[in-house]
């Protein structure tokens, strides 16, 4: 797959693909200035995009992918992936709790503001 086809398929920019290549997440073949991406690169990019969506760092994604590539280390990939996923899930739950608290507080403030406007408006009209 060419860089253009990869960009269209995954909704990323050429700059993003070059950045991932620099970070050793993708390893396209080179023909002069052209980059050609293999099935392996497409699978890796899919995993990178999924990891990013969950807020996993690129370094952690690279570590997981590297464990998969090393035949002698494949047995470590799933435990490491689960460790990262569980930690990220805990972080996301904490963020959700903070958001829920913030939403509740902001909702109360809005209601208080509206109540104040109603009572102040009726006093000014009298």
- Dump pLDDT digits (tens) for 11-55: 999 999 999 999 999 999 998 889 999 999 999 999 999 999 999
Q: Is the pLDDT of residue 71 over 70?
A: no
Q: At 36, which helix (H) or strand (E)?
A: strand 34-36
CATH code for the domain of 16: 1.10.1660.10
- Tally DSSP H helices, then E strands, for the chain: 5, 2
First to last CA, the chain: 74
pLDDT level of residue 123 (50, 70, 90 thresholds):
low
* Range of the structural domain that residue 22 is part of: 1-53
Whether residue 9 is contained in a domain is answered as yes
Question: Domain count of the chain?
Answer: 1
Q: Global pTM?
A: 0.71
Distance (Å, whole) CA 95 – CA 108: 20
Q: Does some domain include residue 116?
A: no
Lowest model confidence (mean pLDDT) among 78-87, 103-112, 115-124 = 115-124
């Amino acid at each position: 797959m060419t860089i253009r086809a990869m960009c269209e398929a995954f909704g990323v920019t050429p700059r993003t693909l070059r950045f991932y290549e620099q970070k050793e997440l993708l390893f396209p073949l080179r023909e002069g200035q052209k980059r050609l991406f293999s099935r392996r690169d497409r699978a890796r990019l899919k995993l990178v995009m999924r990891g990013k969506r969950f807020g996993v760092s690129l370094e952690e994604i690279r570590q997981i992918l590297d464990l998969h590539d090393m035949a002698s280390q494949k047995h470590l990939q799933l435990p490491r992936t689960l460790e990262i996923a569980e930690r990220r899930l805990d972080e996301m739950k904490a963020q959700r709790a903070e958001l829920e608290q913030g939403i509740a507080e902001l909702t109360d403030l809005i209601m208080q503001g509206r109540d104040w406007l109603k009572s102040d408006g009726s006093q000014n009209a009298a």
